[in-house]
């Protein structure tokens, strides 16, 4: 192996979902943890199953298996805590995995325009071609919520005390 080829190798964490393996760039991985209690609450965010508490943080659990393998995971072995970047911010997200994870070094092949949005690239390992995941396309990010909704304005204007209620501290 030459020095130039060593410099092209990048580190990845291989994860298993069902019978398939996927990869996440190692610099997007915080840690691998045993499953813990998932706190569920009513919400409408797609792919968010609930949250776990980890190192003083509230971490959303995003089950990406249905998108990637077409079925929900009934059993989990670990949570891969990954770093979800959007804009200037970075947040943790917990990805349920069904098998062992492995750190490897491989050369990344860029995704083509015809690949699905969740594919950041491809790598070859032990005779398999493995998708490198684009977490930004798989996990929900913050949505911009207007600070003043038209519905609230309309309701306040219809209420006889609407303007009084708004004026109170």
Domains and CATH numbers, the chain: 3-167 (2.40.50.180)
Query: What was the pLDDT predicted at 48?
Result: 85
Q: Is the dihedral of CA 89, 105, 54, 73 positive or negative?
A: positive
Per-residue pLDDT of the chain (169 residues; tens, 9 = 90+): 544 444 479 999 999 998 899 999 999 999 999 988 999 988 777 778 889 999 999 999 988 988 899 888 778 889 999 998 877 888 899 999 998 899 999 999 999 999 999 999 999 999 999 999 998 888 876 653 333 334 343 334 444 444 344 433 3
Q: Of 102, 104, 136, 97, which is closest to residue 120 (Cα–Cα)?
A: 136
For every residue of 3-24, DSSP letters joined together read HHHHHHEEEEEEEEETTEEEEE
Residue pair 93/60 in contact by the 8 Å Cβ criterion: yes
Does residue 162 sit in helix, strand or coil? helix
Query: What was the pLDDT predicted at 142?
Result: 62
Query: What was the pLDDT predicted at 143?
Result: 54
Q: What's the CA angle centered on 29, arms 10 and 45, to 5 degrees? A: 130
Does residue 42 sit in helix, strand or coil? coil
Query: What was the pLDDT predicted at 160?
Result: 43
Residue pair 8/88 in contact by the 8 Å Cβ criterion: no
Query: What was the pLDDT predicted at 141?
Result: 67
């Amino acid at each position: 192996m030459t020095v130039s080829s060593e410099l092209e190798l990048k580190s990845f964490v291989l994860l298993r979902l069902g019978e398939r393996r996927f990869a996440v760039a190692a610099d997007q991985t915080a840690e691998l943890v045993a499953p813990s209690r998932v706190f569920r609450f009513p919400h409408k965010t797609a792919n968010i199953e609930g949250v776990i508490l980890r190192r003083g943080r509230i971490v959303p659990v995003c089950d990406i298996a249905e998108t990637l393998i077409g079925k929900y995971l009934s059993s989990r072995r670990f949570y891969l805590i990954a770093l979800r970047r959007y804009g200037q911010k970075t947040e943790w997200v917990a990805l349920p995995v069904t098998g062992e994870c492995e750190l490897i070094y491989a050369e990344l092949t860029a995704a083509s325009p015809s690949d699905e949005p969740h594919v950041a690239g491809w790598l070859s390992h032990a005779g398999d071609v493995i998708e490198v995941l684009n977490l930004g396309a798989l996990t929900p990010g913050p949505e911009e919520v207007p600070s003043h909704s038209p519905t609230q304005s309309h309701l306040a204007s219809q209420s006889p005390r609407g303007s009084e209620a708004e004026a109170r501290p």
